[in-house]
């Protein structure tokens, strides 16, 4: 009996995990390239752009070590990028509100403007998906971020699933199974946030 195509492809195809990883690597390369183009247009290096956007999304200020961890660079590299951003009047240093002896980075109003106008680098990647597909993907992305965080492979992220206000699946089987105790409202999967300014780490 001839081999079915399914069985044949099971033999000749690389493992699913490998193909998924390759596909995601390509998508990340597209997004990175768009980010670099946006950085160059703003007169910034990719690291400067990354740090500026990280700091600008934290109005209370951010520590240098957190900015370095977010960008995946060494503290010395982040420090050079911050110095360049200060020279460009996009960032400034000030006393940390939580600890007056520590220094926090804060975006200037010009820095806030540059960060606010930044194009979302992954937008062209997800634009072609339907709303339902985007919702499905959001759940998977959050799941991947959560497990990377649990394994301490990425810096802490401000996602709902690591937030002390998040009540997961408190109304199972409904359209809005989750609840945010900060906003005081039920949440659907599509409402989950990846980078929420009101996030506070769960204990
Ligand atoms: S405060 Fe933000 S991160 Fe926390 S549960 Fe609410 S929406 Fe999610």
| Overall number of domains in the chain | 2
Residues 69 and 141 grouped into a single domain: no
Residue that wins the pLDDT comparison between 87 and 99: 87
Closest among 141, 143, 187, 142 to 165, alpha carbons compared: 187
Residue 115 to residue 58: CA distance in whole angstroms: 11
Residues 156 and 95 grouped into a single domain: no
Residues 87 and 150 grouped into a single domain: no
Residue 45 above 90 pLDDT? yes
Mean pLDDT (the chain, rounded): 92
Residue that wins the pLDDT comparison between 8 and 87: 87
Which of 87, 116, 145 represents a domain boundary (last residue)? 116
Residues 181 and 97 grouped into a single domain: no
**Beta partners for 164?**
none
The answer as to whether 9 is a domain residue is no
- 160 contacts 192 by C-beta, under 8 angstroms: yes
* Nearest alpha carbon, ligand 1 atom 3: 160
Residues 108 and 139 grouped into a single domain: no
The answer as to whether 91 is a domain residue is yes
* Nearest alpha carbon, ligand 1 atom 6: 180
Per-residue pLDDT, averaged over 162-183, amounts to 96
| Residue 48: CB atoms within 10 Å | 23
Atom of ligand 1 nearest to the CA of 183: 6
Residue 144 above 80 pLDDT? yes
Token duo for residue 148: 């990377």
Pocket lining: 183 vs ligand 1, CB cutoff 6 Å: yes
Residue 189 above 70 pLDDT? yes
Residue 3 above 60 pLDDT? no
Residues 109 and 139 grouped into a single domain: no
Per-residue pLDDT, averaged over 27-36, amounts to 92
Span from the CA of 172 to the centroid of ligand 1 (angstroms): 19
Residue 17 to residue 22: CA distance in whole angstroms: 9
Residue 5 above 70 pLDDT? no
Ordered DSSP codes for 87-133: HTTSEEEEE-SS-TTSEEEEE-HHHHHHHHT---TTHHHHTTS-HHH
Pocket lining: 180 vs ligand 1, CB cutoff 6 Å: yes
Residue 71 above 70 pLDDT? yes
Residues 81 and 143 grouped into a single domain: no
Query: pLDDT exceeding 90 applies to what percent of the chain?
Result: 75
Atom of ligand 1 nearest to the CA of 163: 4
Q: Quickly state the pLDDT bin for 10 (edges 50, 70, 90).
A: confident
Pocket lining: 165 vs ligand 1, CB cutoff 6 Å: yes
Within the chain, what is the greatest distance between any pair of CA atoms?
78
Residues 24 and 112 grouped into a single domain: yes
The answer as to whether 108 is a domain residue is yes
User: If you ran DSSP here, which 8-state letter would residue 189 be given?
Assistant: G
**Beta partners for 105?**
62, 93
Span from the CA of 201 to the centroid of ligand 1 (angstroms): 10
Per-residue pLDDT, averaged over 112-121, amounts to 91
Residues 98 and 167 grouped into a single domain: no
Residues 176 and 105 grouped into a single domain: no
- 147 contacts 126 by C-beta, under 8 angstroms: no
Closest among 114, 193, 77, 96 to 146, alpha carbons compared: 193
Token duo for residue 77: 């590299």
Residues 34 and 107 grouped into a single domain: yes
pLDDT for res 47 = 94
pLDDT for res 4 = 58
Residue 37 above 70 pLDDT? yes
Q: Specify burial of residue 86 (Cβ count, 10 A radius: 0-12, 13-18, 19+).
A: middle
Domain that residue 177 falls in: 130-191
Residues 89 and 155 grouped into a single domain: no
Per-residue pLDDT, averaged over 15-39, amounts to 93
- 44 contacts 100 by C-beta, under 8 angstroms: no
């Amino acid at each position: 009996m001839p081999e079915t195509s399914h069985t044949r492809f099971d033999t000749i195809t690389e493992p699913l995990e490998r193909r998924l990883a390759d596909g995601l690597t390509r998508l990340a390369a597209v997004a990175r390239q768009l980010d670099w183009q946006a950085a160059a247009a703003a007169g910034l290096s990719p690291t400067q752009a990354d740090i500026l956007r990280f700091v600008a999304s934290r109005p209370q200020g951010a520590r240098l070590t957190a900015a370095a961890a977010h960008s995946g660079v060494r503290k010395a590299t982040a420090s050079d990028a911050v110095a360049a951003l200060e020279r460009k009047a996009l960032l400034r240093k000030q006393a940390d509100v939580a600890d007056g002896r520590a220094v926090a980075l804060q975006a200037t109003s010009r820095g806030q403007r540059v960060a606010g106008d930044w194009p979302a680098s992954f937008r062209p990647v997800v634009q072609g998906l339907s709303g339902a597909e985007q919702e499905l993907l959001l759940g998977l992305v959050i799941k991947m971020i959560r497990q990377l965080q649990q394994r301490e492979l990425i810096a802490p992220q401000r996602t709902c699933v690591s937030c002390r206000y998040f009540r997961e699946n408190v109304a199972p089987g409904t359209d809005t199974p989750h609840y945010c105790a900060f906003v005081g409202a039920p949440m659907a999967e599509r409402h989950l946030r990846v980078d929420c300014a009101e996030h506070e780490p769960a204990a």
